[in-house]
């Protein structure tokens, strides 16, 4: 029964909640955002995505206490262009990595060349948008989008590395060369702790942690991580003998299990950083207003299909599930429903509009973005029946393109000249049987090809 006392109490609580949710200028309170961007981390490597041999208890706990997307894809199965899509919301043909469109897939340029653009001067990065909105912005670790020593693009504080080494790395602290002794992964976390404790607590921050893990080389980790997997057989890893068309990092296939052990050690070393990060947020008193996102810049094969690396692991370029799928975990204590798993198909080009939505800012205008915000999905809001979530995602890497819906995947190369592929993933989840020329799948092939053509035309500029 609602009496005068309970009415006044409820009114008071509502007023307090409203005041808490609004700034004095009536704009919404903006959360801190920590983006953990792991290098070469496929979703299938994590326990929360079904792996039973690689130990990731801390990332798994983040997933259980927040939202996990079951179908999260990159636009490009290659680090540099994939990162550019993540931060700009634009595809490779839009953000200017023309080498990925014109180079022969057989060509293997020296490490660090062709795969990295000279400049993204004309692109609008998420970091610049957030800084303009009043965020303090920081980047730590591997940048890999040109200008590794000084990222720019709205990042006002940075501690980045150029060389892919886990032991005694040289950082560039706000552009200044700074040699450090120790384990790269733990040093990254130490810099993150430093950044979290900087600035006014009332000012929101956006921090990206570009961990090298589990990218090669696998040497340089503390011995305890290798010891964890000394006897592991990886019977469920699904690796196959080296494929005849193996290309990049094919030498790793000469001793598959030993190399999976080393990669697993690197994944667990990454997982061990999560408690330190959360403890730093707790110590700063901002854990309750901080969104933590965990994802990877591309997937990885680790011996599946007889290949080791990612999209350029084979000739022709592959867009296997293992290369394209990455984790996407959102954790915000008290704000995101726990034990939430989302079935929708999402892509790396959806991240920028999603984070903009969380921060209460508009995505950049006149950029022809093809993604949309999945923040309503994360909060488990009722579906928008007038504007339902797209049923397909798309990919592009040099001469290869992909359209993937909830059951089927078509891969087109060199326009439609081929070689092309079509997989029925409900019947063939490991993509062993190419149905492209099967007349029973003609309708599916034509439908997905038309969707891919429409997406291509929409993302020309």
Kindly report, residue by residue over 192-242, the tens digit of the pLDDT. 999 999 999 999 999 999 999 999 999 999 999 999 999 999 999 999 999
106 and 126, same domain (yes or no):
yes
Angle, vertex CA 101, rays to CA 99 and CA 105, nearest 5: 80
Domain shared by 233 and 112, yes or no: yes
* Domain of residue 430, CATH code: 3.30.1120.10
Whether 56 and 121 share a structural domain: yes
Within-domain flag for 1: no
User: Do 356 and 442 share a domain, yes or no?
Assistant: no
pLDDT, tens digit, for every residue of 58-96? 999 999 999 999 999 999 999 999 999 999 999 998 886
Residue 416 sits in which domain range?
399-461
Note whether 369 and 421 are same-domain residues.
no
CATH number (domain holding residue 68): 3.40.720.10
- The residue among 370, 393, 416 that closes a domain is 393
Whole-number average pLDDT of the chain: 90
Residue with the larger pLDDT of the pair 29 and 412 = 412
417 with 273, same domain: the answer is: no
If DSSP codes are grouped into helix, strand and coil, which group holds residue 130?
helix
CA distance 445 to 97: 28
Residues 279 and 40: their CA atoms lie apart, in Å, by: 26
* DSSP per-residue string spanning 172-222: EETTEEEE--SBHHHHHHHHHHHHHTSS-TTS-EEEEEEE-TTSSP--SS-
280 belongs to a structural domain: yes
Asked whether residue 426 falls in the same domain as residue 289, the answer is no
388-394: list long-range contacts, CB under 8 Å, 24+ apart: 389/344, 389/345, 390/345, 391/345, 392/345, 392/448, 392/451, 393/71, 393/73, 393/75, 393/345, 393/346, 393/347, 394/75, 394/347, 394/370, 394/451, 394/452, 394/455
Measuring CA to CA, which residue among 374, 397, 436 is closest to residue 309? 397
Task: State whether 373 and 435 are in the same domain.
Answer: no
Residue 15 falls within a domain, yes or no?
Answer: no
Q: Of the given ranges (27-41, 215-229, 355-369, 404-418), which has the lowest mean pLDDT?
A: 27-41
The pLDDT confidence band at residue 28, using thresholds 50, 70 and 90, is: low
Note whether residue 17 is domain-resident.
no
Number of domains in the chain: 2
Evaluate if residue 109 carries a pLDDT over 80. no
First to last CA, the chain: 61
Q: Is residue 3 part of a domain?
A: no
Residue 10 lies in a domain: no
Structure-token pair, residue 202: 């009332």
Rg (CA), the chain: 22
Boundary (domain end) residue, out of 393, 415, 446: 393
Q: Is residue 370 part of a domain?
A: yes
What residues contact residue 458 under an 8 Å CB cut-off, 6+ apart?
368, 370
How far apart CA 184 and CA 178 sit, in angstroms, is 13
Separation CA 294–CA 326 (nearest Å)? 10
pLDDT higher than threshold 70 for residue 12: no
Write down the H helix ranges in 44-91.
57-64, 79-88
Residue 52 clears pLDDT 70, i.e. is over it: yes
pTM: 0.91
Reported as a pLDDT band with limits 50, 70 and 90, residue 25 is very low
pLDDT at 26 over 50: no
Which of these, 286, 292, 297, 312, lies nearest to 397 by C-alpha position? 312
Question: Which of these three, 393, 426, 442, is where a domain ends?
Answer: 393
Q: How far is CA 338 from CA 63, 335, 425, in A?
A: 8, 9, 29
Q: Are residues 439 and 453 in the same domain?
A: yes
pLDDT value of position 101: 39
310 in the same domain as 255? yes
- The pLDDT score that the predictor gives to residue 97 is 61
Using CA of residue 184, residue 144, residue 314, residue 444, what is the dihedral sign?
A: positive
Residue-level pLDDT at 16: 33
* pLDDT tens digits, one per residue of 383-398: 899 999 999 999 999 9
Instruction: Report the alpha-carbon distance of residue 439 to residue 449 in Å, rounded.
Output: 15
**Residues 370 and 223 placed together within one structural domain of the fold:** yes
Q: Is residue 410 part of a domain?
A: yes
Smallest CA-to-CA distance from 300 within 228, 215, 208 is with 215
Question: Are residues 232 and 346 located together in one domain of the fold?
Answer: yes
Q: Please, are residues 299 and 77 in contact by the beta-carbon 8 Å criterion? A: yes
Distances (CA, A) of 54 to 39, 43, 200, 202, 270: 16, 12, 39, 39, 12
């Amino acid at each position: 029964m609602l009496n005068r006392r309970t009415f006044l109490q409820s009114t008071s609580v509502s007023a307090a909640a409203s005041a808490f949710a609004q700034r004095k200028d009536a704009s919404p309170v903006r959360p801190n955002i920590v983006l953990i961007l792991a290098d070469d981390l496929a979703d299938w490597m994590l326990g929360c995505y079904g792996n039973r041999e690689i130990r990731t208890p801390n990332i798994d706990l983040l997933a259980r206490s927040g939202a996990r997307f079951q179908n999260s894809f990159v636009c490009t199965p290659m680090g540099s262009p994939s990162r550019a899509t993540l931060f700009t919301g634009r595809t490779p043909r839009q953000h200017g990595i023309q080498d990925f469109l014109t180079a022969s897939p057989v060509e293997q340029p020296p490490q660090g060349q062709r795969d990295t653009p000279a400049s993204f001067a004309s692109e609008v990065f998420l970091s610049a948008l957030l800084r303009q909105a009043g965020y303090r912005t920081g980047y730590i670790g591997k940048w890999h989008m040109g200008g590794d020593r000084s990222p720019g693009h709205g990042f006002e504080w940075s501690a980045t590395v150029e060389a892919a080494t886990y032991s005694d790395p040289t950082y560039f602290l706000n552009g200044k060369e700074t040699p450090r002794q120790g384990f790269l992964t733990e040093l990254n976390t130490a810099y993150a702790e430093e950044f979290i404790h900087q600035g006014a607590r009332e000012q929101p921050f956006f921090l990206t942690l570009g961990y090298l893990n589990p990218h090669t080389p696998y040497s340089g980790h503390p011995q305890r991580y290798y010891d964890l997997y000394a006897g592991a057989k990886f019977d469920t890893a699904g690796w196959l003998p080296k494929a005849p068309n193996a290309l990049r990092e094919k030498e790793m296939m000469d001793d598959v299990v030993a190399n999976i052990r080393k990669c697993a050690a690197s994944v667990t070393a990454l997982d061990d950083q999560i408690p330190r990060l959360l403890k730093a947020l707790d110590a700063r008193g901002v854990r309750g207003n901080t969104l933590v996102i965990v994802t990877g810049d591309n997937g990885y094969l680790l011996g599946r299909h007889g290949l080791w690396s990612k999209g350029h692991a084979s000739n022709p370029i592959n867009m296997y599930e293992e290369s394209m799928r990455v984790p996407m975990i959102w954790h915000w204590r008290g704000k995101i429903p726990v034990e939430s798993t989302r079935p929708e198909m999402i892509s790396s080009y959806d991240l920028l509009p999603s984070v903009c939505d969380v921060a209460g800012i508009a995505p950049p205008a006149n950029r022809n973005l093809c993604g949309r915000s999945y923040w309503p999905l994360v909060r488990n809001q009722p579906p928008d029946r007038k504007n339902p979530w797209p049923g397909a995602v798309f990919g592009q890497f040099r001469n290869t393109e992909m359209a993937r819906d909830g059951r089927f995947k078509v891969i087109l190369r060199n326009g439609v000249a081929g070689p092309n592929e079509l997989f029925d993933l409900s019947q063939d989840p490991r993509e062993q049987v190419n149905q492209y020329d099967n007349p029973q799948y003609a309708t599916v092939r034509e439908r997905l090809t038309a969707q891919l053509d429409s997406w291509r035309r929409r993302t020309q500029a």
